[in-house]
A and B are shown apart, each in its own frame.
Chain A
């Protein structure tokens, strides 16, 4: 299963790769990264790109915000699940995200256990 992480902080990549080290090694999970909303859309739009089923995106990013990305993904690739990750655990963003079709809302610092659970659920539902 392939997921895409979108965050402007580059160290997020290292963090995820290490956190999901076992799953990645055993090929249960394939993780891609984009450092902006624009890059994420480009990656998803590439024809030969294997199917990404789940996108986790930061909300607060320079350029396209996570909420904008969420709307674009939902209209262009409606089959892809999207969850938001925000440092601002506020109701406002939460409500906007859910209204725009986000599956989940995680606040930073990310609780990797709940994230793993979310991904595990997706794996069993497949």
Chain B
């Protein structure tokens, strides 16, 4: 045995033991706190993983949308060519009938001639109808192509009012053709004194589509709550402010709660369930407005209205 041990007194031993006990308690506490720290850290990691999963899901959705866009462009192109033939041949045939009528006029009058002229006029009116509906289809195909091609980045003098009329209308008909269509009173109040302004029409039409679509979605939710007593209204206004242009897109839907007002423009922020929204609409919208050196303001009162105010400078280059 070692001499030091022998010389340790009982009291010394007890104090040593107490000291050791204290250390053990301390260590246990330390370990406990370490474990709980680890746990919070693990929770944080879990949260991060979850966030990542959600984002991954959204990116996947985005990719799907992108490939859907490509598919649409492909289809639109395939349809465009045969449609051109339909339009061209119907137009040609109208010209020919015109010529036939002129030739017929040179012949002596008879009941047969009368009959032929009558039939020809019917054929001509049918051809007009073919041409008319062909042109309609053509303009739809054109806007499909415009949206999937992606901006070329050039700013051209554009009639903003015409663009708004066209794309609010397109958004409305798109909504009506999809599931859960709603009735909306569309009110356009466009400042006709506005001259052409330099914008990227392709990109800017996306802004109008996104804002209109959001308004329809929001008002659909309000209809679900309030029933048919509520009449949904989408109002779009333009105003010439001299060196700037003001565009207002306003709906009388449910409004935006204060808690989320600041989050609206954040990419992927959505209150829509499942795959109904990617949460990119407003961030893309904001992005496009920024590239036009403009600004976006959101005003809203719960249960009353949501108002998106866009201000664009007139001299964007």
Give me the interface of A with B, judged by CB distance under 8 Å: 9, 11, 15, 18-19, 87-88, 90-91, 108-110
Given contacts A15-B92, A87-B77, contact A108 B152 (CB under 8 A): no
Top 8 nearest A-B pairs by Cβ distance?
A: A109-B84, A18-B92, A11-B85, A15-B88, A108-B84, A87-B80, A109-B88, A109-B87
Contact size range, B:
10 to 19
Asked if B81 CB lies within 8 Å of chain A CBs, one says: yes
Majority DSSP secondary structure for residues of A touching B: loop
Residues on B with beta carbons closer than 8 Å to the beta carbon of A110: 88
Asked if B89 CB lies within 8 Å of chain A CBs, one says: yes
User: A87, A90, A109 — which one has the most chain B CB atoms within 10 A of its CB?
Assistant: A109
B141 CB to closest chain A CB (Å) equals: 11
Majority DSSP secondary structure for residues of B touching A: helix
Residues on A with beta carbons closer than 8 Å to the beta carbon of B96: 18
Residues on B with beta carbons closer than 8 Å to the beta carbon of A108: 80-81, 84
Residues on B with beta carbons closer than 8 Å to the beta carbon of A19: 92
Residues on A with beta carbons closer than 8 Å to the beta carbon of B88: 15, 109-110
Interchain Cβ contacts under 8 Å between A and B, 15 examples? A9-B81, A11-B85, A15-B88, A15-B89, A18-B92, A18-B96, A87-B77, A87-B80, A87-B84, A88-B77, A90-B152, A108-B80, A108-B84, A109-B87, A109-B88
Partner of B152, one of A18, A88, A91, A109: A91
Q: Which residue of B lies closest to A92 (CB)?
A: B152
Q: Which residue of A lies closest to B93 (CB)?
A: A18
